[in-house]
């Protein structure tokens, strides 16, 4: 299923023990569920993670682009529906941040990230397809093809989080926005930079896992349906 919104909040100096971490996690579960019901209605899932040390709180809303919550399909225009989802993600992030400040008693966090996740990625693809139509009028064919390759890679990354019916729906709507159908897409160009980045990420993940095994930070995690 698609990740509809994610909010990450960090308090650099926040001492907490295991008992308080679990209590705080339960309180955040409640406000995360309430905000999800108010903004998305029923039919979504919420994932809550807390990590002690430099306290990290991460709340993610997960759901179907088509289903119980279908802000995209109920709009006559696909772009308008995506924009509505993006706004929902922003509203959700603000609601969670405000509630977390109340629960923790803190005046402000050291860092806050409100991510639009899958809706934001789809909105970005739509904008790039619109720019591509202008680019086709003035840029060399090779430049246009390279940008198209990049867009296609982003679409494939988005589709990995979608159900089959949603993938078909998103592909069809993006084709109306200028994405060529699958049988007309140019063959992908090897992306050596992406390969190098993937190797580096894998190496960093191994190092991170090894360091995590040593530290064994206190952690709270709950995933539930609203």
Residue ranges of domains in the chain: 2-225
What's the whole-number average pLDDT of the chain? 87
Banded pLDDT at 207 (limits 50, 70, 90): low
113-169 tens-digit pLDDT: 999 999 999 999 999 999 998 888 888 988 988 999 999 999 999 999 898 888 988
Q: Which residues of 193-226 are buried (b: 16+ CB within 10 A; e: fewer)?
A: eeeeeeeeeeeeeeeeeeeeeeeeebebeeeeeb
Query: Whole-angstrom Cα distance, residue 56 to residue 102?
Result: 16
63-95 tens-digit pLDDT: 988 755 555 656 667 888 899 899 999 999 999
| Residues listed for the chain | 226
Q: Is the dihedral of CA 80, 85, 86, 90 positive or negative?
A: positive
Query: Whole-angstrom Cα distance, residue 86 to residue 115?
Result: 9
Token code pair at residue 147: 């940008």
pLDDT in the model for residue 221: 98
Share of residues in the chain with pLDDT > 90 (%): 55
pLDDT in the model for residue 205: 66
| 3-state SS, residue 220 | strand
Torsion angle, CA of 138/143/146/152, rounded to 10 degrees? 0
The 10 Å Cβ neighbour count of residue 188 is: 10
Banded pLDDT at 225 (limits 50, 70, 90): very high
pTM score: 0.82
CB-count exposure of residue 5 (10 Å: 0-12, 13-18, 19+):
buried
Token code pair at residue 105: 């008693």
**The 111-115 sheet, strands edge to edge:** 111-115, 2-11, 55-63, 45-51, 219-225
């Amino acid at each position: 299923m698609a990740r509809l919104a994610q909010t990450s909040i960090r308090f650099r100096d926040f001492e907490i023990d295991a008992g308080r971490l679990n209590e705080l996690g339960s309180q955040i579960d409640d406000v995360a569920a309430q905000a999800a019901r108010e903004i998305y209605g029923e039919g979504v899932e919420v994932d809550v993670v807390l990590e002690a040390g430099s306290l990290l709180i991460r709340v993610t809303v997960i759901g179907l682009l088509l289903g119980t919550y279908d802000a995209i399909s109920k709009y006559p225009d696909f772009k308008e529906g995506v924009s509505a989802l993006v706004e929902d993600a922003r509203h959700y992030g603000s609601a969670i941040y405000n509630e977390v400040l109340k629960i923790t008693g803190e005046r402000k966090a050291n860092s806050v990230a409100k991510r639009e996740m899958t809706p934001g990625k789809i909105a970005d693809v739509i904008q790039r397809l619109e720019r591509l139509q202008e680019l086709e009028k003035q840029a060399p064919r090779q430049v246009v093809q390279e940008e198209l390759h990049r867009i296609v890679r982003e679409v494939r990354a988005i589709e990995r989080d979608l159900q089959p019916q949603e993938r078909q729906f998103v592909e069809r709507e993006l084709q109306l926005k200028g994405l060529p159908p699958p049988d007309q897409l140019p063959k992908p160009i090897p992306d050596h930079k992406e390969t190098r980045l993937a190797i580096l990420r894998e190496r960093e993940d191994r190092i991170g896992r090894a360091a995590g095994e040593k530290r064994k930070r206190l952690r709270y995690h709950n995933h539930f349906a609203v």
